[in-house]
Chains A and B, each alone.
Chain A
Amino acid sequence: MDKQDALNEQAILIIGTSAMVLMAFAIVFFIFLYQRKLLNRNLENQKIQDLLQQQEVQTAYALLEGQDKERKRIASELHDNLGSILVTLNMYSDSLQTKTELEDIKNISSRISNVSRTANEEVRKISHSLDSGLLKHFGLEAAISQLMEAVEMSKKIKIELDVHLENHIANELGLQIYRIIQELVNNTLKHANCSKIRLELNQIDNGWSIIYHDNGKGFNLTEVKRGMGLSNIERRTDKLGGELKMESSSRRGSTFILDLPRPT
C-alpha cells in the first residue's frame, strides 16, 4: 500500500507539474497568436493607406493631364479661331490707314465692325467652354470617382456613387470635402468590414449635402475611442461651418450625414 501511495504521489506530482507547464505554453502561444493578429491588422491598415496614397497620386496625375489637355485645346481654339480673326482685323486696320476715299473708309470700317463682332462672339464661346462642365468640377467629381473606383477594384466592395454638382466649388472647399470623404472611406476600410458603400454628394440651396453609408459592423457612438479619423472629420466639418450627424448600429451599419454651407 505504501509503495502504491508513493507511486500515486509521484504520478500526481508529475501530472500536476506537466499541467502547469502545459498551461504556461498555452498562455505564451495565446500571446503569440494575438500579437500576430495585431501585426496582420497593422499590415492591412498600411496596405489601405498605401492604396489611398497611390490613388491620390494617380488622381493628381490624371488631374494635371486633364488640365494640360484642356489648356492645349483652348490654346488651339484661340490660335485657330480667334487668331485668324485678329489677323483679318489687323489687315483691315492696316488697309484703312491707306484709304482716302470716304466710301472706301466706310466700307472697311463696316468690315472691321463685323470682324470685331465675330471676335467678340468667339471670345464669348471660348469663355463659356472654360467655365462649363469639364474644368469646373473636374477636380472634385473626378477625384471622388477615382477614389471610389480604386476601392471597388482592390477591396471588392460594391460602390454606389451619386454626385450632383451644378456650380463651381472653390479649390479649398473641394479639397476639404475630398479629405472628409477620404477619411470616411479610410475608417470603413479599417474597421467596418462591409460589402457596400453608398456616397451621395448633392448641391442644395444653401450649400452641399454629403450622405455616406456603409453596411459594416457599425460602432458604439458613445463608447468608441475618438481615433484620428473621426476627429479629423469632425474638425474639418466644424472648420467649414457644417453639421455632422452619425448613426451606427451592428445591424444597419454606419451612416454619416454632413451639411456644408456655401461660404459667404
Chain B
Amino acid sequence: MKVEDIEGFVANISVFSPVLPLAIAGILIARKRLDKNMWPIVVMLVVSLFSDQFAKWLAKTYQNNMPASHLWGFLSALISFWFFCLIMPKSKRLIMVLGISFLVLYTINSTFNETIFTFNAQAKVVQGLCFIVMAFWYFFDVYRSEDIPALEKNGIFWAVVAIFIYYSGALFTQLLYTRIVSSMNGVWIVHNLFNITKNLLFGVALWTSRTH
C-alpha cells in the first residue's frame, strides 16, 4: 500500500472522526446530562466537522482550500480560549486578554502577512505553542490544587489532554511543513492521526463528564 493511499484513508477517517463524539454529545444533550463546561468542545467538534468537509470540497473542486484552514485556525483558537476561560475561572481575565490579543494578531497576520490563500504556518506554530502552554498551565493548576479526586474520571482533564495532543501534533506538522514540502503525505498522515486522537479523546471527555 502506497503512502498516498494510506494518506487518503487516514484523511477520510480524520474528516469524519468528529461524528462519534458528536453522537455522544447528542445523546447527552437529549438526556440533559451534558456538563455546561463541555459546550465549547461540542461547538469545536461541529466546527471541525464542517470546516473539514468544506476544505475537502474545495480540494475536490480544485480550489484553494487555504481559506478554510485560516477560518478553522481562528475559530478553533476562539473556542479553545472560551473553554479555558470556563475551566480556569480564577485566571479568566488573563485568558481573555491573551485570547483577544492572539485573535487580533492572527487576523492581522492572515490579512497582511500569510494571506488567506497561503498556508499560515507561522500563525499555526504560535497557536500551537499558546495552547500547549495553556494545557500545561491547567495541568499545573490541577496538580497544585488537588481538587479532583479521580483524574481519570474527570471529563475536563481528558478534554485538555485532547487539546494538548492536537496542538502538539499540529505544532509538529507545521514546523515540518515549511521544511519538507515535497513529503507532504507523511506530514498530513501524522496530522490526521493527531486529529483522530483528539476527537476520540473529546468523546471520552464528553462521556466521563456527563452529569447525574
Return A154 CB to nearest CB of chain B, in Å: 23
Return A226 CB to nearest CB of chain B, in Å: 14
User: Quick one: CB contact mask for A25-65 with B, threshold 8 Å, 1 for yes?
Assistant: 00100110111011001000000000000000000000000
In the complex, the chain B residue whose C-beta lies closest to that of A27 is B161
Asked if A35 contacts B151 (CB within 8 A), the reply is yes
Asked if A34 contacts B3 (CB within 8 A), the reply is no
Asked if A23 contacts B168 (CB within 8 A), the reply is yes
CA gap between A15 and B173 in the complex, in Å: 11
Contact A12/B180 with A19-B172, A20-B194, A23-B168 known, Cβ cut-off 8 Å:
yes
CA gap between A30 and B187 in the complex, in Å: 28
Return A21 CB to nearest CB of chain B, in Å: 11
Whether A13 is near chain B, meaning CB under 8 Å from some CB there, is yes
In the complex, the chain B residue whose C-beta lies closest to that of A28 is B152
Contact A31/B152 with A5-B182, A19-B168, A41-B146 known, Cβ cut-off 8 Å:
yes
- What total count of A-B pairs have CB within 8 Å? 62
Whether B23 is near chain A, meaning CB under 8 Å from some CB there, is no
Return B65 CB to nearest CB of chain A, in Å: 22
Name B186's contact: one of A9, A19, A30, A31 (CB within 8 Å): A9
Asked if B185 contacts A9 (CB within 8 A), the reply is yes
Name B3's contact: one of A9, A20, A35 (CB within 8 Å): A9
Name A12's contact: one of B139, B143, B152, B187 (CB within 8 Å): B187
Residues of A within 8 A of B148 (CB): 34
Contact A13/B186 with A8-B180, A20-B193, A20-B194 known, Cβ cut-off 8 Å:
yes
Name B139's contact: one of A8, A19, A30 (CB within 8 Å): A30
Name A20's contact: one of B139, B187, B197 (CB within 8 Å): B197
Whether B46 is near chain A, meaning CB under 8 Å from some CB there, is no
CA gap between A19 and B189 in the complex, in Å: 13
Those 8 A-B pairs whose CB atoms lie nearest each other, nearest first? A16-B190, A12-B186, A9-B186, A8-B183, A9-B183, A31-B151, A13-B186, A9-B3
Show 22 residue pairs from A and B whose CB-CB distance is below 8 angstroms, ordered by the A residue. A1-B182, A5-B183, A8-B183, A9-B185, A12-B190, A13-B186, A13-B189, A13-B190, A16-B169, A16-B173, A16-B190, A17-B193, A20-B169, A20-B193, A20-B194, A23-B168, A31-B151, A34-B142, A34-B143, A34-B148, A37-B146, A41-B146
User: What 12 new A-B contacts, CB under 8 Å, besides A17-B190, A20-B193?
Assistant: A5-B182, A6-B3, A9-B3, A9-B183, A13-B186, A16-B194, A19-B169, A20-B165, A20-B169, A33-B143, A34-B142, A38-B149
